[in-house]
Chain A
Amino acid sequence: MIEYLCTSDFIRSINNLTRKPKYQYNSCIKDIKDELKEKNITQIIDSAFLLYQNMELHVLKIRIKKSEQRVGKSGGYRLIAAANNKTNRIAFLQIYPKTGRFKKEDFDKDDELDKHLETLQKEIETNSIMKFNLSDVELGDFI
């Protein structure tokens, strides 16, 4: 079974997106669950865009369909996550939408992927990282 974690950066990005229902991002946790449930870690790694790999550590960009609008995966969310296929862990680092008020075109160098990995490492070290079961988690757990 996959162990899911999320960093404070991810929680911040979820809070930012879902603070007003009129922006139509409230389905994002449900959409993440729909995308990842019933997949094992190898399937998740294989179906995502692999941004960076360092041995068993994979940094992924996962395309998530946005159910609130008919925009498919192309116009959905991008979930940046770190996955380790040996320890069977996936950590959510950041999420951003491709359409709507808070749309972001690309994840680029300026997004400082190294900082997201540092945050993950520090939060694991200090045991302040949020762990959850994907099938039980709801939007309210993050906000």
Chain B
Amino acid sequence: MNFWINLNGSFTLYLFKKEVRNYIMQVIDEKINRVKESTDDLMQETFEETANNFLDQANDFKGSLYSLAEKFNSLNEDLFSYTNQEKEDSLKNLDKLKSLLSNANELIARVKRNRALYSIVKSELRVFRVETSQLNEIIHDIKLKYIDLPNDKKLREAANKLKSQF
């Protein structure tokens, strides 16, 4: 009899312990799943949101850069015909144009340093660089036309010699 009570008691305890272990396992298992879910959510959020935010900003920047290139193009076209005729004003504008060019070059350098952004706006940056290069050329031409060439003695001699035959 005692044997049976003991045996029965041990067996009940055994079943109880087993049940508790199963329960704990289930709780842990659910916890693992929840933590994993949270990790996946955050990972998704991190990659998707951060990536989406970055892409949104990069696309905005792309548009701004293209629009800035158009503004430079318009300025260059105006300067091109204006500097052809207006010596005094062209020379007066020289410092302002150099400062504008320096800022534009700084912008290009900053974009190139940001590799992720650079890879997205590469073609717009190329268009922008063509325009800044045109501005650089205009600055250079102003100096050449109004400062360097008029004082070039050899050029004057060559032009005088050519005039009668050409």
Contacts and interface: CB of A to CB of B under 8 A. Distances in A.
B136 interface: yes
Contact of B144 (A71, A82, A109, A115): A109
Given A74-B134, A121-B158, A84 B166 contact: yes
Contacts of A59: 159
Contacts of B137: 98, 105-106
A112 B166 CA distance: 19
Interface string B114-151: 00000000000000001101101100110011001110
A114 B148 CA distance: 12
B78 interface: no
B141 A54 contact: no
Interface in A83-114: 84, 87, 89, 91, 98-99, 105-109, 113-114
A50 B86 CA distance: 12
Interface string B74-94: 001000100110000000000
A114 B152 contact: yes
B149 A51 contact: yes
B134 A82 contact: no
A74 B133 contact: yes
B149 A82 contact: no
Chain A interface, >50% SS class? mixed
A71 B136 CA distance: 16
Judged by DSSP, the binding face of B is helix
A139 to B, nearest CB: 24
A84 B163 CA distance: 8
A52 interface: yes
B50 to A, nearest CB: 34
B159 A51 contact: no
A52 B159 contact: yes
Contacts of A72: 73, 130
B60 interface: no
18 contacts: A49-B84, A51-B145, A51-B149, A55-B163, A72-B130, A74-B133, A84-B166, A98-B137, A105-B136, A109-B144, A109-B148, A113-B152, A114-B152, A117-B159, A120-B166, A121-B162, A124-B162, A124-B165
Interface of A: 49-52, 54-57, 59, 61, 63, 71-72, 74-75, 82, 84, 87, 89, 91, 98-99, 105-109, 113-115, 117-118, 120-121, 124-125
Please name the 4 residue pairs, one residue from A and one from B, whose CB atoms are nearest each other, closest first: A54-B159, A117-B158, A74-B134, A114-B154
